[in-house]
């Protein structure tokens, strides 16, 4: 009977739960699904991570390549995130070029990298005006059940923290680059920006870490990114219902709490990986 009511009136079905300050999956309104993290599983990458938030699963591989810098920033390397949402992760996606949602996710990650100063791009410069590192960060969603931005941002951060790059020296006589086959240096990640996504239901109820079903029923979605010093890095609001200043202030507080939990997970996983090595 409940399944029939849910299929016929999904919004009304959710409202019955939200009146009791809970959700159909048993979570409280501000509760996040179980988050797990694994790093270093892709041996062919310079750094990698796999993140699972509930049923949403994202894997990230980082590959460094040597390239000439841009003319505008001769002393800086660059980071290129790319998100793929294939039909394998959800029936809502179709084969072919990256869908709009994947492109939006990739641009979101690029904006987070810039706004948070996640990596010093000067550190990626080997020889000003001639040679820099380009970090290609490919993120593949293996299973989609909502909140892909949070999963992608954690996977990206963990993969970059896991990444090492070969030592490169410039021969003074020939000006040619010599890449070490044995010596590698860890990538220096300066900040830990963490994204937390909320769904706006009926214009006022705010659900942390929405599932795919909740995102489909929501009147709006908002993502808040905070740094390790609880500083607000960015707020991403694609459309739909807006949050009031009071609601936004509350969301920042909830995002700060979620960020602290996620950073503890990142540190614990990195420490475990170091011991294993």
The enclosing domain of 155 has a CATH number of 3.30.230.70
> How far from 23 is each of 109, 144, 200, 202, CA to CA, in Å?
29, 19, 13, 14
pLDDT at 174: 79
The average pLDDT across 150-163 equals 97
User: Hey, which residues does 22 pair with through a beta bridge?
Assistant: 28
DSSP reduced 3-state for 91: coil
In tens, the pLDDT along 46-92 reads 999 999 999 999 999 999 999 999 999 999 999 999 999 999 999 99
pLDDT at 4: 67
The average pLDDT across 267-271 equals 88
Question: Is position 164 within any domain?
Answer: yes
- Residue 2 pLDDT more than 70? no
pLDDT at 239: 74
- Residue 132 pLDDT more than 90? yes
Closest CA to 160 of 119, 207, 201: 119
Phi/psi region, residue 96 (left: phi>0; alpha: psi -120 to 50; beta: rest), is: left
Confidence of residue 102 (pLDDT cuts 50, 70, 90): very high
Q: Yes or no: say if 80 and 136 are a contact pair by the CB < 8 Å rule.
A: yes
Give the global pTM: 0.94
Beta strand pairing call for 131-143 and 78-84 = parallel
In tens, the pLDDT along 184-240 reads 999 999 999 999 999 998 878 889 999 999 999 998 899 999 999 988 998 998 877
Among 79-88, 102-111, 151-160, 267-276, the range scoring the smallest mean pLDDT is 267-276
Distance from C-alpha of 55 to C-alpha of 220, rounded to nearest angstrom: 21
Question: Is position 201 within any domain?
Answer: yes
Question: Does 150 or 8 have the greater pLDDT score?
Answer: 150
Tokens for 29, please give them.
């309104």
pLDDT at 10: 82
Residues spanned by the domain of 205? 33-276
Question: Is position 131 within any domain?
Answer: yes
Confidence of residue 5 (pLDDT cuts 50, 70, 90): low
- Residue 108 pLDDT more than 70? yes
Question: Is position 11 within any domain?
Answer: no
Tokens for 233, please give them.
């890095």
Question: Is position 101 within any domain?
Answer: yes
| CA triple 141-221-37, angle to 5 deg | 35
Q: Between the CA atoms of 230, 55, 143 and 24, what dihedral angle is there, to the nearest 10 degrees? A: -100
Closest CA to 50 of 273, 210, 224, 223: 273
Question: Is position 21 within any domain?
Answer: no
* Total domains, the chain: 1
Buried residues in 206-232 as b, exposed as e (16+ CB within 10 A): bbbbbbbbbbebbbbbbbbbbbeeeee
Contacts of 130 (CB under 8 A, 6+ apart): 68, 69, 175
The average pLDDT across 22-50 equals 95
Confidence of residue 39 (pLDDT cuts 50, 70, 90): very high
């Amino acid at each position: 009977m409940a399944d029939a009511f849910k299929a016929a009136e999904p919004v009304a079905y959710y409202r019955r739960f939200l009146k009791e300050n809970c959700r159909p999956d048993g979570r409280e309104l501000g509760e996040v699904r179980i988050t797990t993290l694994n790093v270093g599983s892709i041996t062919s990458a310079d750094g990698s991570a796999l993140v699972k938030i509930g049923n949403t699963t994202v894997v990230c591989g980082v590959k460094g390549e040597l390239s000439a810098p841009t003319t505008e920033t001769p002393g800086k390397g660059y980071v290129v995130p790319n998100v793929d949402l294939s039909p394998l992760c959800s029936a809502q996606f179709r084969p072919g070029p990256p869908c709009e949602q994947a492109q939006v996710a990739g641009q979101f990650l690029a904006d987070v990298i810039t706004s948070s100063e996640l990596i010093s791009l000067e550190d990626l410069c080997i020889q000003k005006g001639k040679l820099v590192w380009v970090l290609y960060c490919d993120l593949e969603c293996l299973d989609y059940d909502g909140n892909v931005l949070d999963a992608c941002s954690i996977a990206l951060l963990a993969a970059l923290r896991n990444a090492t790059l070969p030592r490169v020296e410039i021969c003074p006589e020939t000006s040619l680059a010599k890449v070490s086959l044995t010596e590698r240096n860890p990538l220096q990640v300066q900040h830990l920006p963490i994204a937390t996504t909320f769904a706006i239901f009926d214009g006022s109820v705010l659900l942390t870490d929405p599932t795919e079903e909740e995102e489909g029923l929501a009147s709006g979605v908002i993502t808040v990114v905070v740094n390790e010093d609880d500083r607000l890095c960015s707020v991403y609001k694609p459309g739909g219902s807006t949050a009031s200043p009071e609601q936004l202030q509350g969301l920042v507080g909830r995002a700060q709490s979620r960020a602290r939990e996620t950073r503890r997970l990142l540190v614990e996983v990195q420490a475990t990986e170091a011991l294993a090595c």
